[in-house]
Structure 1
């Protein structure tokens, strides 16, 4: 047996943020006690993180707005416990990545992550089978993860103002042009990165958007060749 290291507790950096933090924790607890189905954590100029207490909303909250917080740089893993969510809005923050636990929110129908600093979306997004709307414009995304091809209910995909790769950009050295493979898993500390990785890029028409780049991270050459075959058979895509 081995012990999993405990994650450090977040501490507000100054009195102003500490006051905002304490008020937010109180608001979360009150909303949980009332059984609110929606919660709004928006327009804070000082908060840089979200309390783990957000998990207290898991019994009732279906709509969660964590937007327009101009110092907010991260989301907690406990967000993945809000499995009743159908709409999650984390737009207009300072996020550089989304936690893998987003993939546990399997009832999501709308996901807004626009106007952040995201370079990629988590691989775990493939779990969001009910997602109908993904708004990810105005980020730094070069390609989407394979999982978007399995989102059969997706009918609205917004990606403008991203440096999306085009077919002519990836004739050589694909690995150098796409982000490195992100951590994969379910928010636990057991997530690992691939020790070796082969990358394949394919282009698809998705929700009226043409030639959307989709990146496939594969563990070996056999998997790479199998992926190419499946793409050709299922989507008529060979490159």
Structure 2
């Protein structure tokens, strides 16, 4: 799949890490107690190697000075026994990657914190039900892989934001029911994978993840996505496939860096017309949606027009007649309401709407091959028969020469 280019790990920070700095204990079917033994042995071995190297260095220096006595004392120290208690406070400052995937871990041993220079920790495909708070004692951690465990909403530390260097977090294939608040506090995240959970809600606080480049929410139970998703301006790949979405918010057009948008296997009957403004979009996956399987008519039957309230009618008059007002004339909520007005997309209509509008489906050609239903928002049902072709209207107001459709590289419908 072409979008795999966005699924890559945060390799830029760790790709130069030598293999000798990795400890691979994967696929050994270790339980927690067995893992403790392996970790302690590894730390002890690493410590002895460093100690021997230090002794060899000091001997070389001593030989250069002709000092025989120093070398002898060093030799006795090297041969002396070292109790296990004496190594309990020793930290491994060399290992950068710790690979523990495909074991039988039910919990994490505290010994992991003794690998104080860890950059990447892979705990995927275990049986973890919670992640201990002591994991927060790994200040250099950049990548944490926890996919395919048994983590529920209460299974993660509350203070994840203390991992200030964390750039990639994979929680796919767990039992999460929402995008947790503590995830939205890890503001340095660039890659967040939450696919294959039971998520029904995305919190508005997700807008805090301003560095996010990939957001994977496929294979969940989402019926809506919040408008705040449109504030993730660095997003390059948005994966919302295999959910229960019936529509997308119009603010999706604010994701100007978006290159891949995966929406297959949802309940979409149409797309917001503003999606054509995503000029950098290279891949749009829409297969297995009603809009592709020709059930658009069922969507059209469900479209309702709510009669404008007296509040809206008054607001329309104020905006259309350009009646002057200040924040001192009206309560704050009414000032905010007046500022939320939207223009009718029909260029021949000067009307406005606030909360009551007509949803109108219009078919538009993509790539010269596919006719996709896009959603217009009109101020009145009278505008639907007067609305000219959207592309003609767009080209009149758009200074760029290339039409949005010409930039779409792939539209996956089957």
Bucket of the pairwise TM-score, normalised by the shorter protein? 0.5 to 0.7
Q: Residue 62 of structure 1: which of 117, 142, 147 is its match?
A: 142
Alpha-carbon contact 1:129-1:151 (below 8 Å) kept: yes
TM-score (norm 1): 0.62
Alpha-carbon contact 1:100-1:123 (below 8 Å) kept: no
In the other structure, the counterpart of 1:229 is 341
Residue 84 of structure 2 corresponds to residue 84 of structure 1: no
Alpha-carbon contact 1:203-1:211 (below 8 Å) kept: no
How far the C-alpha of 1:157 sits from its partner, in A, is 0.4
Q: Residue 39 of structure 1: which of 81, 97, 121 is its match?
A: 121
**Which structure 1 segments of 5+ residues have no match?**
1-16, 168-200, 213-219
Alpha-carbon contact 2:198-2:220 (below 8 Å) kept: yes
Give the direction of change, closer, same or farther, for the CA distance of 1:143–1:56 in structure 2 (3 Å limit): same
RMSD: 3.5
How far the C-alpha of 1:41 sits from its partner, in A, is 1.8
How big is each residue's C-alpha offset from its partner over 1:94-137, in whole Å with a ceiling of 9 and x where there is no partner? 11123212122111111100000000122211011111111110
In the other structure, the counterpart of 1:129 is 210
Alpha-carbon contact 1:102-1:124 (below 8 Å) kept: no
Structure with max Cα Rg: 2
How big is each residue's C-alpha offset from its partner over 1:74-107, in whole Å with a ceiling of 9 and x where there is no partner? 3221223212111111111111123212122111
SS at match of 2:341: helix
State the alpha-carbon separation in 2 of the partners of residues 227 and 80 from structure 1: 35
State the alpha-carbon separation in 1 of the partners of residues 157 and 215 from structure 2: 20
In the other structure, the counterpart of 2:151 is 72
In the other structure, the counterpart of 2:110 is 26
State the alpha-carbon separation in 2 of the partners of residues 40 and 91 from structure 1: 13
Alpha-carbon contact 1:121-1:145 (below 8 Å) kept: yes
State the alpha-carbon separation in 1 of the partners of residues 141 and 210 from structure 2: 20
State the alpha-carbon separation in 1 of the partners of residues 199 and 166 from structure 2: 22
In the other structure, the counterpart of 2:193 is 112
State the alpha-carbon separation in 2 of the partners of residues 223 and 88 from structure 1: 41
State the alpha-carbon separation in 1 of the partners of residues 336 and 222 from structure 2: 23
Give the direction of change, closer, same or farther, for the CA distance of 1:124–1:28 in structure 2 (3 Å limit): farther
Runs of 4+ residues over 6 Å off in structure 1: 230-233
Alpha-carbon contact 1:115-1:139 (below 8 Å) kept: yes
Alpha-carbon contact 1:25-1:53 (below 8 Å) kept: no
More helix by share: 2
Q: Which has the higher contact order (CA 8 A, sep 6+)?
A: 1
In the other structure, the counterpart of 1:181 is none
Give the direction of change, closer, same or farther, for the CA distance of 1:227–1:28 in structure 2 (3 Å limit): farther
Q: Residue 157 of structure 1: which of 233, 238, 251 is its match?
A: 238
Give the direction of change, closer, same or farther, for the CA distance of 1:30–1:114 in structure 2 (3 Å limit): same
State the alpha-carbon separation in 1 of the partners of residues 343 and 206 from structure 2: 19
Q: What is the count of residue pairs matched by the alignment?
A: 176
How big is each residue's C-alpha offset from its partner over 1:47-75, in whole Å with a ceiling of 9 and x where there is no partner? 22211112112x20011111110x22132
